[in-house]
Amino acid sequence: MKKFLAVLHARNMEFLRDRSALAWNLAMPFMLVIGLAFTFSSSDKELYKIGVIGGIEKLHSVAPALQATQHLQFIAYDDLNAAIAKVEHHQMDMLLDVSGAPKYWVNSNSPNGYLLERIVWGTEGTHFAQQLVQGAEIRYVDWFLPGILGMNMMFACLFGVGFVIVRYRKNGFLKRLKATPLGAFQFLFAQLVSRLLLIMVITTIVYSGCNLFIEFNMQGSYWTLLLVTTLGAMSMISIGLLIAARTASEELAGGLLNLTTWPMMLLSGAWFSLEGAQAWVQKLSLIFPLTHMISAARAIMNEGATLSQVMPHVLVLATMSVIFIAIGAFIFKWE
């Protein structure tokens, strides 16, 4: 324990004395905006999002003219209650049910729902029974918050750990540690705990400070949110430790870390919802810990999800953390 605490204290002090981290935190948002604008610039934009219960194929036979209307995005749902909840929170503009007698749900407080209702009424050959729902709107900032905090945590976890260990190996610091009784697991676990403590403190300060002015929507438990974010940070730190376990070149480490961060940044749902994306894209996103952390955090904050409801995400994050840290300790190279 003394060896672990000594390494933990040394790493904490080294991070706190690093002033260059501030410059990175200022430059990162500009890099992300430019990357997203270049990757996802498209003139074909869907203006309205419509959920469909009963299948898209059935909708074509019930309302072919409506389905042929441009700028409408149709998304198939199996869970009626979950789809209605999205209409209530203005996350979906309209819900169509074609599984039986055609009917639709629209939020009476939604401007998009109002316009879509007029489109449905004016489309030839469509006959739906109106069903009204009401609910408070979830602001974009409430939906966006878990994503931006998750992105900051991802970069701090991966680059803050990966580059540090590679630098230790390159300047011979790890070679000197090899002569001490310190084991590889003790060293890596100290790095993980140090980075985890600093990230959680910084994230809590950022959230609390912004909440004083914006008053974020929070319908779930803060303890459940803390558990999810802690496990998410641990899993991403473990990935950084795994990448740096045998890497001796900072250039190679940077390439591997970028190869890891960019897919997570684009496919985790941090900046935009993956609903309506191709099925293989949605399945691919599930291999990233950031996807599970952001999805669970949004469910807790905006939908009031309980621990049991986000338990699948919790189990995936915990499993990833254990596997990555174990492999990293096993293949770790001091020199």
| DSSP for 190-255, written as a single string | HHHHHHHHHHHHHHHHHHHHHHHHH-----S-HHHHHHHHHHHHHHHHHHHHHHHSS---HHHHHH
Q: Please report the pLDDT score of residue 38 as a whole number.
A: 55
Q: Please report the pLDDT score of residue 226 as a whole number.
A: 92
Every domain of the chain and the residues it spans: 2-40+139-331, 48-133
The more confidently predicted of residues 183 and 45 is 183
Exposed e or buried b per residue across 158-194, where buried means at least 16 C-beta atoms within 10 angstroms of its C-beta: bbbbbbbbbebbeeeebeebeeeebebebbbbbbbbb
Q: Where does the pLDDT of residue 141 fall: very low under 50, low under 70, confident under 90, or very high at 90 and above?
A: confident
Percent of the chain beyond pLDDT 90? Answer: 9
Q: Please report the pLDDT score of residue 231 as a whole number.
A: 93
Q: What is the mean pLDDT of the chain?
A: 80
Lowest-pLDDT range of 110-124, 125-139, 236-250, 284-298? 125-139
Distance, in Å, from the CA atom of 275 to the CA atom of 49, rounded to the nearest integer, reads 10
Q: Is 86 helix (H, G, I), strand (E, B) or coil?
A: helix
pTM of the model: 0.68
The more confidently predicted of residues 173 and 295 is 295
Options 1.10.10, 3.40.91, 3.30.1490, 3.40.190; which CATH number does 48-133 get? 3.40.190
Q: Please report the pLDDT score of residue 25 as a whole number.
A: 57
Inform me whether the pLDDT recorded for 23 exceeds 70: no
Q: Please report the pLDDT score of residue 21 as a whole number.
A: 66
Exposed / middle / buried, residue 107 (Cβ in 10 Å: 0-12, 13-18, 19+): buried
Q: Where does the pLDDT of residue 230 fall: very low under 50, low under 70, confident under 90, or very high at 90 and above?
A: very high
Q: Please report the pLDDT score of residue 311 as a whole number.
A: 93
Q: Please report the pLDDT score of residue 30 as a whole number.
A: 47
Q: Please report the pLDDT score of residue 28 as a whole number.
A: 59
Q: How many CB atoms lie within 10 A of CB 7?
A: 21
Q: Where does the pLDDT of residue 27 fall: very low under 50, low under 70, confident under 90, or very high at 90 and above?
A: low
